[in-house]
Structure 1
């Protein structure tokens, strides 16, 4: 893994000033030919002759304000000449363009400036777009924790949940609910967080186990 190259094109993330959760790992894959993403349900055709590689940043948090475990993505399209051709960023199971039409949020020529939805972490290139989300404020407050331990996507079948586990996760996350300030501060990914996707995939179930143990201790829950 070429950390210098990965760092050169890494997005600059912007988090709400009241954000309680930050990335703990970033699984990186460099795609150099047509094929599927290893970490989410996407396939890349490589039909632009200018394209050298797509850098996939699978950004992992231990928590979303509504559930345990969070994975969002940023894809940076790099040309043979080193130019950023495009960027895309995930948004609750879907994705949007990560660059504004005028590329005004491309900083230093290689870093897409992306805003993270408070508590939920989906990405947008302009924070004003978050105001289009109907539950922008309620998700981080009265609806905190309501999805318990999330099981989805690349971790289907890797671990499981039950009503008691979901209950204590919700109980814990309700203690962290907050009101977004909608003022954002820059966050740059520390290179020490980068691992391969295979390493991250193996680590996630262990992190979930550890977080559940901490939650049981904090809440007096009994879920196994």
Structure 2
């Protein structure tokens, strides 16, 4: 399926969960705090801005935010929260679409770079970020660490989350570095709802090489937005790349 088909009206409606999940204050608060700090008083550009989960509170902190978004249903949800004058958005692919102006910060959160399904597209995403940044500008990526250590020989799937009413599992194609995330939601009836999305997973070292190809250097990497140390056991990371101050 194309990304436009995956992130349709139904997906956009289910994406927003005010106060819970990825919208929980303990999740969203540190994200916005760190991005506001990294913007350094300048303007920010969000790739795959979605429904404005991060952009709306970040703009509320006084950071001028522009977005790029491929899904019109996701953008429609954003427009119910902020108009074009408040948060301008360019409709297009984050690897190729361009926004007017120069920014101090470009950011891409919640694993979204993996929605680009080839290495070439992911490299172009880095290059697109670099095109929008001035000297000293930063590109921030939040991304999960592939859980291949959990895969015994012959097994192709891992359960990464389970709670009452929800199971999340990933199926891996290790030859192509592809993974399909399966989200099962259910209640006491016999029916369940399934949402699936394909991804290309990226190792941190591969991500660093992509950055280097686009002219970035790794400035910092932590396990989360609060600055927890990144270790071999970390399940995700927040990586900050920077364009040299003079080039």
Task: Please classify the TM superposition score into its range, dividing by the shorter chain length.
Answer: under 0.3
TM-score (norm 2): 0.26
| Greater length-normalized contact order (CA 8 Å, ≥ 6 residues apart) | 1
TM-score (norm 1): 0.27
